[in-house]
Structure 1
Amino acid sequence: MKRTSDFQPHSVDRQTRADGSILLRSKHPLSASVERTGDWLHQWADTAPERVFLAERSGAGWREENYRSVLEKVRAVGAALLARGLDDKTPILVMSGSGVDHGILALAAQYVGVPLVPVAEQYALVHGAHGRLRDVIGLINPKLAYVDDAARFDEALALEALQGVEIVASHPESKVGGKAGGRADGRAVTAFADLLKGDGGIDVDAAFSKVTPDTVGKILMTSGSTSSPKGVLTTHRMMCVNQVQLADALPFLRRRPPVILDWLPWNHVFGGSHNFNMMLANGGSLYIDDGKPVKGLFERTIENLNLKTGTLAFNVPLGFGMLLSALEKDADLRRRFFQDLDLIFYAGASLPQEVWSGFERMAMEVAGEVPLMTSSWGLTETAPCAMMQQEPAPRSGIVGVPVNGVTVKLLPDADMRCEVRVKGPNIMPGYHGAPERTKEAFDEEGFFITGDAMVFLDPDDPDKGMRFDGRISEDFKLQSGTWVRAAQLRLDMLSLLAPLAADLVITGADRQQIGVMVFPNAEELTREGFDLTADDGALSCALLRGEIHRRLGERAREISGSSTRVSRAIVLAEPASMPDGEMTAKGNLNFRKVLTRRAALLERLYRDDDPAVVTI
């Protein structure tokens, strides 16, 4: 395992109050932070001007921008934004994914006090998702919008909602005629290169001096998996303090400039705040991976890894599973991947234990030690990290203890399952344009109500950390009054039905039995010879139903109690629909929307005479 000096040991103060609530705090002090993200940029432009900060693929290699060049471009773009009259009341909408120009624009906006609003590419590129894009535009009322390629985003840029909004593109050529500066609908497009010219009449230093820790740097849209999306006001204090909290927990970040090859999108707090700012705060280098863990694009990730490996590895569990398989087949890449690796960090869901064990085994074979394998817990509203497993963990699924400066309030039930609320300098001030939703988000003591639940690994030792135990809002009761913890049960079912199920929804609210609606892994089913013929929205394959019946039956014989016994299943023929709100931009299911949109299939699930339904 990693040396003790590579992480801050857990040291938790626990206070149980008269009302039964529990307060957890770290006994370690919070280190001082800078006030603005631009302070980091100045620091590294002064002390390491030639070090690569941002890089993206260009031809057979990389377009690399060092700290000095990024600062120069940030100041020029900042001047151009101010010359257009942009300020803290005129957000910038970013519709395309991660890229060097996107990064420069984001930092420039933060440098001069203009909020940036990055949204998922799918909102603009998927025709049926334009409703989500219109909602965001209506909420923030942008004065400028950026895309990397005007031709690729041509349909979205023609939306009536963007009339009067200046469009900026790194590649401004339109589909018709390929002319720079114009588009198919006749509206002008400004080249990003024009922003890089700056404006000599603008006092950028004066603007930078007015940026404070309370200045909003970004407005990040929540995923909308449990409610409609909200715009999280993300201040400089939130971003700057959270990086200090992370570096306090992981001191190796301060000892050696980190390097990452990262695909995680910047419209999400994981990729855009946690990872991006970790490189900036610690003088690191961010190489943008233009691949991702999906069929047809993961091969690009492997190509990129063959060009550049890092000191930290961030990913979602699916990505790490695919990476483990690739490393098992390539000894040279396996050696280079582990040779300088300090950290393997997963988020978004629990890492399957077999993947965790595979990386441990592989690291020991290659490097003779295991890098710190860990995760943390937080939300967009918490910047994101509020709790972290800072010490080496015995297994996957542990989210740790409060980071320095955060107070966690736990409201335990009779089974010591705790609702989680948090307070600290990394917590948002509120939601954009939504005072009522902001008020509802905090309790009478000023703690942010997360809606998440956790349990102690050891109720007698808070230093052992906590385990995430689902969303309170996902839980439901059966007709018997028995509570069903749907989040953990969903993970159990995904493991049981792997690799046949790509995702699933747990059902049974106000019914007698728990059921499951399965979104199939069509590629795997086809490879295994299952028939994908649909019967009014459900797959009717007898062979597939037989396999699911076998697995559910074996599990039922090993457990007792109605709260975890899954008695019926139906396999859905149609994949989750993003345009209809069943899937968020993060790829998460909106369970309520699935159950509402497929109400007829839900009713079929509870009919014993339906041939598509599996019952045990």
Structure 2
Amino acid sequence: MSPLFPSLYAAEPREAIRFGRHALTYAELAAAAGSLAQRIADAGRVAVWATPTPQTVVGVVAALVAGVPVVPLNPKTGERELTHIVRDSEPAVVLAAADDQLPPALHGLPRIDVAADAPTTGTAAPALPPEPDDESAALIVYTSGTTGPPKGAVLPGRAIAATLDALRDAWEWSADDVLVHGLPLFHVHGLILGVLGPLRRGGSVRHLGRFSVEGVTRELSTGATLLFGVPTMYHRIAEAASADRELAKALAGARLLVSGSAALPAPDHRRIARATGRAVIERYGMTETLMLCAERADGGARPGTVGAPLPGVELRLADESDGIGEIQVRGPNLFTGYLNRPDATAAAFTEDGWFRTGDMASLDADGQVRIVGRKATDLIKSGGYKIGAGEIENALLDHPGVREAAVTGEPDEDLGERIVAWVVPTDPQSPPEESELTDHVARELAPHKRPRAVHFLAELPRNEMGKIMKRALHV
């Protein structure tokens, strides 16, 4: 079996990771990870306090090559949820940077302070151990817990390799690429795509530590070729790009701009394209499945779609009606199950072995996937129609008086569900009239898609990835 990180095993002298001024070559990363791998080789599982630092990368890579499953921990997780994750995953040790202050939920665990430097000169660097079988558990990534306590999705090495190699094909991703991002390192987008992706390709990643438009401008102006971000980041970029010539020039020079984790609103697509002449492409995946679809580097971005299924991914729409159905998938990129939850694992799959994503979508004539939203929160059944919240949100965002928008369905005796809009106005002192917005949606889409109520907010509730938490929206 070929290694997950060929350039790491070759100890190449090229830069692998950079966090601010702290950079490590592949040779230095191999030495640091090899030293740590020896210390944790007998651990059943390890937790990594996943701060945006080189220590996190060293800890994760060391565990992966040692064949020890990694549980990335979000440093902003609350004590109750963190306690649940630690009890559920039972790590033998927690890996952290020496200056990290760990919360009480981790105080009972042995701790190893991770060094993000190669061993002292004159000391022979320990050889990296042979990588484990690709069906072995590599990462245990906990879901957001929107329907109960977070569940640990067990991801084998096979799934990581399959998804990254499929993206190599779609994005023409190579060792010449330099990725810049400012995403957290405890989840799929920031860690697997944003760090392990460049390492598998033999390229490099520059992490901003904390996202900023200035950081994006700096890195894309000095050799970075790819940018990964979430819609909140691209919204800030869209707002700045029309007036910031250096930012617009930097974005125009990038090889690929990729957005994920939620749909990028059409107005932000247009603003970035107008300012830079470059389109943002989107992709679609989730913790349990890794990447399922992606727009191609050579195919042109199509706002509103997430591209076609990636190589190796089988995708179908179940219980389809009115052209909309639940996305169900199979393929080598899927997880092996939820840790300690055989009941939840069984419920997540159909009798014939397809994973139920819970996402609703339609398919264009050429196989492009259009996500309507979550089955539980974004598909509104009103007056006999199936209505996707996303298209109404995009229509609202096209109105100059709307800065942000979310749409939900609420029970209605007559309609079944009624459409409700939650709006952050462009000018809080002078918001548009409710009727102006509802009439705008009716004109842009159809009368039956008109919101029946509009609520104005100072801001929309979002999680750390910028996703709107619709369950927190209520009167």
TM tier, smaller: 0.7 to 0.9
Show CA shifts across 1:404-434 (max 9, x none). Answer: 1221122252312122111111111111111
Which structure dedicates a bigger proportion of its chain to helix?
A: 1
Whole-angstrom CA distance in 1 between matches of 2:117 and 2:208:
26
Q: Could you tell me whether the CA contact under 8 Å between 1:517 and 1:572 is conserved in 2?
A: no
- Which residue of 1 is the match for residue 165 of structure 2? 244
Whole-angstrom CA distance in 1 between matches of 2:325 and 2:357:
11
Whole-angstrom CA distance in 2 between matches of 1:132 and 1:86:
23
- Which residue of 2 is the match for residue 393 of structure 1? 300
Whole-angstrom CA distance in 1 between matches of 2:213 and 2:167:
31
Instruction: Please tell me whether residue 287 in structure 1 is matched to residue 206 in structure 2.
Output: yes
- Which residue of 1 is the match for residue 9 of structure 2? 42
Percent identical residues? 23
Q: Could you tell me whether the CA contact under 8 Å between 1:375 and 1:398 is conserved in 2?
A: yes
- Which residue of 1 is the match for residue 68 of structure 2? 114
Whole-angstrom CA distance in 1 between matches of 2:222 and 2:82:
34
Instruction: Please tell me whether residue 219 in structure 1 is matched to residue 98 in structure 2.
Output: no
Whole-angstrom CA distance in 2 between matches of 1:560 and 1:226:
32
Q: Which of 113, 132, 139 matches 2:88?
A: 139
Q: Could you tell me whether the CA contact under 8 Å between 1:223 and 1:585 is conserved in 2?
A: no
Q: Could you tell me whether the CA contact under 8 Å between 2:33 and 2:58 is conserved in 1?
A: yes
- Which residue of 2 is the match for residue 265 of structure 1? 184
- Which residue of 1 is the match for residue 410 of structure 2? 508
Show CA shifts across 1:349-381 (max 9, x none). Answer: 3333343334444444xxxxx5x7422221111
Instruction: Please tell me whether residue 489 in structure 1 is matched to residue 392 in structure 2.
Output: yes
- Which residue of 2 is the match for residue 173 of structure 1? none
Q: Per-residue deviation at 1:203?
A: 8.9
Q: Could you tell me whether the CA contact under 8 Å between 1:223 and 1:584 is conserved in 2?
A: no
Q: Per-residue deviation at 1:52?
A: 0.5
Q: Could you tell me whether the CA contact under 8 Å between 1:353 and 1:395 is conserved in 2?
A: no
- Which residue of 2 is the match for residue 65 of structure 1? 24
Q: Per-residue deviation at 1:306?
A: 7.2
Whole-angstrom CA distance in 1 between matches of 2:243 and 2:445:
38
Structure 1 stretches lacking a partner, 5+ long: 1-33, 124-128, 171-191, 293-297, 365-369, 531-542, 577-582, 602-616
Q: Which of 77, 80, 92 matches 2:36?
A: 77
Q: Per-residue deviation at 1:268?
A: 1.8
Distance change (3 Å), C-alpha of 1:109 and 1:69: same
Whole-angstrom CA distance in 1 between matches of 2:246 and 2:301:
28
Instruction: Please tell me whether residue 569 in structure 1 is matched to residue 454 in structure 2.
Output: yes
Q: Could you tell me whether the CA contact under 8 Å between 2:180 and 2:219 is conserved in 1?
A: yes
- Which residue of 2 is the match for residue 609 of structure 1? none
Distance change (3 Å), C-alpha of 1:554 and 1:399: closer
Show CA shifts across 1:461-492 (max 9, x none). Answer: 43xx22112122223444x5544433443444
Amino acid paired to 1:551: L
Moved over 6 A (4+): 193-197
- Which residue of 1 is the match for residue 255 of structure 2? 342
Whole-angstrom CA distance in 2 between matches of 1:556 and 1:351:
22
Whole-angstrom CA distance in 1 between matches of 2:52 and 2:450:
43
Amino acid paired to 1:229: P
1:393-432 matches, cutoff 5 A: 393=300, 395-432=302-339
Q: Per-residue deviation at 1:558?
A: 5.5
Q: Per-residue deviation at 1:334?
A: 3.7
Whole-angstrom CA distance in 2 between matches of 1:195 and 1:568:
60
User: Which structure is richer in relative contact order (CA contacts within 8 A, separation 6 or more)?
Assistant: 1
SS class of match (2:165): helix
Distance change (3 Å), C-alpha of 1:452 and 1:315: same
Q: Which of 466, 473, 478 matches 2:376?
A: 473
Q: Which of 588, 591, 613 matches 2:470?
A: 591
Amino acid paired to 1:97: T
Q: Per-residue deviation at 1:54?
A: 0.6
- Which residue of 2 is the match for residue 351 of structure 1? 264
Show CA shifts across 1:552-603 (max 9, x none). Answer: 23434565443x1212123357974xxxxxx5443434433x25xx5xx3xx
Q: Could you tell me whether the CA contact under 8 Å between 1:419 and 1:451 is conserved in 2?
A: yes
- Which residue of 2 is the match for residue 53 of structure 1? 16
Distance change (3 Å), C-alpha of 1:196 and 1:439: farther
Instruction: Please tell me whether residue 86 in structure 1 is matched to residue 49 in structure 2.
Output: no
Distance change (3 Å), C-alpha of 1:511 and 1:36: farther
Whole-angstrom CA distance in 1 between matches of 2:58 and 2:384:
54
Whole-angstrom CA distance in 2 between matches of 1:304 and 1:331:
13
Whole-angstrom CA distance in 2 between matches of 1:373 and 1:169:
39
Whole-angstrom CA distance in 1 between matches of 2:244 and 2:384:
53
Amino acid paired to 2:307: G
Amino acid paired to 2:176: P
Whole-angstrom CA distance in 2 between matches of 1:515 and 1:589:
17
Show CA shifts across 1:261-288 (max 9, x none). Answer: 1111221211211222221121111011
Q: Per-residue deviation at 1:97?
A: 2.2
Show CA shifts across 1:438-480 (max 9, x none). Answer: 111111221111111221222xx43xx22112122223444x5
Amino acid paired to 2:110: E
Q: Could you tell me whether the CA contact under 8 Å between 1:78 and 1:204 is conserved in 2?
A: no
Whole-angstrom CA distance in 2 between matches of 1:413 and 1:360:
34
Whole-angstrom CA distance in 2 between matches of 1:289 and 1:195:
22
Amino acid paired to 1:41: L
Normalising by structure 2, we get a TM-score of: 0.87
Distance change (3 Å), C-alpha of 1:355 and 1:109: same
Distance change (3 Å), C-alpha of 1:588 and 1:325: closer
Whole-angstrom CA distance in 1 between matches of 2:29 and 2:247:
31
Structure 2 stretches lacking a partner, 5+ long: none
Q: Per-residue deviation at 1:299?
A: 5.3
Whole-angstrom CA distance in 1 between matches of 2:194 and 2:428:
41
Q: Could you tell me whether the CA contact under 8 Å between 1:476 and 1:509 is conserved in 2?
A: no
- Which residue of 2 is the match for residue 176 of structure 1? none
Aligned residues: 468
Q: Could you tell me whether the CA contact under 8 Å between 2:315 and 2:329 is conserved in 1?
A: yes
Q: Per-residue deviation at 1:239?
A: 0.7
Q: Could you tell me whether the CA contact under 8 Å between 1:454 and 1:470 is conserved in 2?
A: yes
Q: Could you tell me whether the CA contact under 8 Å between 2:217 and 2:247 is conserved in 1?
A: no
Whole-angstrom CA distance in 2 between matches of 1:146 and 1:570:
45
Amino acid paired to 2:8: L
Distance change (3 Å), C-alpha of 1:397 and 1:35: farther
- Which residue of 2 is the match for residue 316 of structure 1? 230
Whole-angstrom CA distance in 1 between matches of 2:259 and 2:465:
15
Show CA shifts across 1:290-322 (max 9, x none). Answer: 222xxxxx2552574377441112112232232
Instruction: Please tell me whether residue 165 in structure 1 is matched to residue 50 in structure 2.
Output: no
Q: Which of 241, 245, 248 matches 1:331?
A: 245
Q: Could you tell me whether the CA contact under 8 Å between 1:35 and 1:213 is conserved in 2?
A: no
Show CA shifts across 1:39-78 (max 9, x none). Answer: 45214x2xxx221001111xxxx21100111111111010
Q: Could you tell me whether the CA contact under 8 Å between 1:35 and 1:236 is conserved in 2?
A: no
Q: Per-residue deviation at 1:436?
A: 0.8
Whole-angstrom CA distance in 1 between matches of 2:126 and 2:35:
11
Distance change (3 Å), C-alpha of 1:547 and 1:317: same
Whole-angstrom CA distance in 1 between matches of 2:83 and 2:232:
31
- Which residue of 2 is the match for residue 99 of structure 1? 53
Normalising by structure 1, we get a TM-score of: 0.69
Amino acid paired to 2:265: P
